[in-house]
Amino acid sequence: MTDVATPITRLEATVRGRVQGVGFRYWVVRRATEMGLTGWVANELDGSVRCVAEGPPPVLDRLEATLRAGPIGAVVEAVQVVRMPATGTMAGFSVRSAGHRGD
C-alpha cells in the first residue's frame, strides 16, 4: 500500500523474447502484487507481453528490473519502457486477454 503523499507514476512495458507459454504473466502478477502495484499484464498477438503498472517510481524501477530478468524458462531479449503520469483508475493487478483495448 502506498502513502497518500507518495506520488505515483505509470510504467508501460513491452517485453520481447520467449515470454509466452512460460508463465510470464502470472509471475508478473505475483511480483507486482507483492510490490503493492496496480495494473495488468497481457500476451500480445505478436508474441510479446505488455505490462502496465502504476505506483511509486522506486517500486516501478524494481518492477522494470524484474521484467528484464523474467521467470525461469523465459528468455527476455528486450524490454521497451515508457513512463508517464498515472491515471489512478486501476485497482489490483490482473491478467488480461490478448487483443485487449487497454485501460
Write down the H helix ranges in 2-103: 24-34, 57-69
Residue 25 is among the residues annotated as catalytic for this protein: yes
Catalytic residue among 10, 31, 43, 50: 43
Residue 43 is among the residues annotated as catalytic for this protein: yes
Catalytic residue among 25, 62, 96, 101: 25
Which residues touch 23 (CB under 8 Å, ≥6 apart)?
Answer: 71, 73
CA 97-98-103 angle, 5° bins: 70
Alpha-carbon span 22 to 8, nearest angstrom: 30
Catalytic residues, by residue number, are: 25, 43
